[in-house]
Chains A and B, each alone.
Chain A
Amino acid sequence: MIAVPPGWTIQHLPEAIALTHPNGKEAAQIHYRERAGKPRRVGTLAREILAAWPRITVKSIAPLERLLTIEGEFAALLGVECTEGGRDVRIDLGFVFTDDFFSSTAGTCRDPALRQDVTTIVRELVRHDNLALGVRRRRVEYQPPKDWQPFRRSLATEWIPPDFPRHDTTLLAYPANPIAVTGRLTFGSAHTYLEGLGWQVVEASAIEKGMTKRGVAFEAQEWVFARAKQPPRKTRMVVLADTLYQYPFELRMVATDNPVADRDVLANVVESVVPFGPVNTSATQFWIE
């Protein structure tokens, strides 16, 4: 949900709203869709939206600008210079990404005198996009391992190496867990979970402690687990944590392997984790009684 800028008028469309500048839609208009579809790459979304304007010719696209909304959601802005019937048109695209959908904001400015204003308004609308999703289990940002491929598992992603399954190792990136809501994951609770599935943890290393370069504390442990008629497996689990979230990652491998390179892959992913910032309580406290 976005606010209507002062002086602009609002028109409700079936799946969107159109905001029109006080000087009329020939001056500037902004279209907003809150549930615009499954999240996709910014480039894909931008190309789709621009292709839907058949009279518009794209001249240039500015570098993508990233930001967070005041609710802490991931967002992107893209300025596009276009022409339409020989006239310059500036399009400002904004996207807010959640785990399940994205919202889109598209400002179209035909009056050169208003361009900066409209760009600023679109930016602020995106920044204040009120999706009210609150504190929840969600994907955290990290850099995926180079050349590995993703196997999506709901909010988690299992990464497989290029020579999988002969190289029988996977890296599981779990969603971030809000500690206040889901409780604190411990290695002991991970062992208990495995034992509930019929595995037995037969060996566990001492817990290592560390800190990423971004200052996120983590703990790591390796354990070997086995069950009848199946070869033993080995896991290295790293759990990063700040005051609000835990960010678990797991490297699963054959017990007899000692893949230094795979451990480096996991270490690089862990180093790249960007924790969620402090929660803006005024933007999210509707969830907190």
Chain B
Amino acid sequence: MRDGDWTLVSSPDDSVRVLLTPLVGPAGVDPRQMFERDVPAECRVEYLSFEERQHTRSGWAMALTTLRVLDAKGVERERRVAAVLSMLTYIGAIVARLPNEAALERDREQLLALFASARPHLWSKEPACVAELFSMEEP
């Protein structure tokens, strides 16, 4: 499902939502904006961990972070685990949103495997070669 330029994938019971950002140029990009998308105004974010120097299966550099969203009373409303990916000159993120820590622990392996499977989709509306101009398909 598309959410603007983002793509949303949900688990069958909708308890886990994974958001994929588009790849963007690195200039001026703050990955926290990707991690903290749709945090309610009355809530705050607490970062719990940050692991650099990770890699996807095909070798793209990846950093992982875990954060939680707390309401005004300090009660956890949501837990997120996210991967920020450096691909050529682009940056992209995958943000998994879960209801709580237990849900994250339950799905952690599956989510890490999903992050590790990330690969860029570099085809765009602007053709990269002459042959592509003469296609009737969408990129």
Contact = CB atoms under 8 A, between A and B. Distances in A.
Interface in B116-139: 119-139
A44 B125 contact: yes
A142 B131 CA distance: 6
B131 A41 contact: no
Interface of B is mostly: loop
A73 to B, nearest CB: 11
Contact of A140 (B128, B130, B136, B138): B130
Nearest to A143: B131
A165 B128 contact: no
Contact of A152 (B119, B120, B128): B128
Given A44-B138, A149-B122, A157 B128 contact: yes
A198 interface: no
Given A164-B58, A165-B60, A142 B138 contact: no
B88 interface: yes
B59 A150 contact: no
B62 to A, nearest CB: 12
Contact of B139 (A38, A41, A66, A140): A41
Nearest to A148: B122
Given A163-B58, A164-B59, A42 B134 contact: yes
A162 to B, nearest CB: 7
Interface in A4-47: 38-44, 46
Contacts of B57: 166
A41 B58 contact: no
Interface in B85-136: 88, 119-136
Interface string A143-183: 11000011110000100101111110000010000000000
Given A43-B138, A144-B131, A149 B120 contact: yes
A217 interface: no
A144 B58 contact: no
Interface string B33-77: 000000000000000000000000111100000000000000000
Interface string A100-136: 0000000000000000000000000000000000000
Contacts of A166: 57-59
Given A151-B122, A163-B58, A166-B58, A40 B130 contact: no
A72 to B, nearest CB: 12
Given A150-B123, A162-B119, A144 B132 contact: yes
Nearest to A150: B128
Contacts of B125: 38, 40-41, 44
B134 A139 contact: no
Contact of B123 (A39, A76, A149): A149
Interface string A209-248: 0000000000000000000000000000000000000000
Interface of A: 38-44, 46, 61, 64, 66, 74, 76, 97, 139-144, 149-152, 157, 160, 162-167, 173
Interface of B: 57-60, 88, 119-139
